[in-house]
């Protein structure tokens, strides 16, 4: 079982910005889902697999600790990169 990811959790310093599942709150923040945007100093991209395929929020798989963020660095030229999410929604655990 892994902690769920919520909006504001980070992938190497870059926060998950959403949109998330606004009707599903964990510790007062919307839960993060597959395809949510991530942007910041280390990456600009979106949440990808692995997500919890058996737990859905607003019809989308829920992201958890270890879900990978795929995208590119905000440098010129951009470099493809993949970083794991560090989840803080420790009060809710999901199966990977």
CATH number at 21 reads 2.60.200.60
**pLDDT score recorded for residue 80:** 95
Q: Which helix (H) or strand (E) holds 26?
A: strand 21-26
Q: What is the pTM of this model?
A: 0.90
Contacts of 58 (CB under 8 A, 6+ apart): 21, 22, 23, 24, 33
Q: Count of domains in the chain? A: 1
Check residue 46 and give its pLDDT: 95
Q: Which parts of the chain sit beneath pLDDT 50?
A: none
pLDDT of residue 42: 87
pLDDT of residue 36: 97
Position 64 scores a pLDDT of 95
**Domain interval for residue 10:** 2-94
């Amino acid at each position: 079982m892994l902690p769920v990811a919520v909006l504001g959790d980070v992938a190497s310093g870059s926060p998950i910005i959403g949109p998330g599942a606004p009707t599903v709150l964990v510790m007062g923040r919307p839960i993060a889902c597959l395809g949510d945007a991530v942007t910041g100093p280390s990456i600009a991209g979106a949440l990808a697999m692995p997500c919890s395929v058996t737990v859905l929020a607003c019809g989308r798989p829920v992201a958890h600790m270890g879900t990978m963020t795929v995208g590119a660095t905000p440098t010129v030229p951009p470099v493809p990169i993949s970083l794991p999410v560090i989840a803080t929604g420790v009060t809710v655990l999901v199966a990977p």
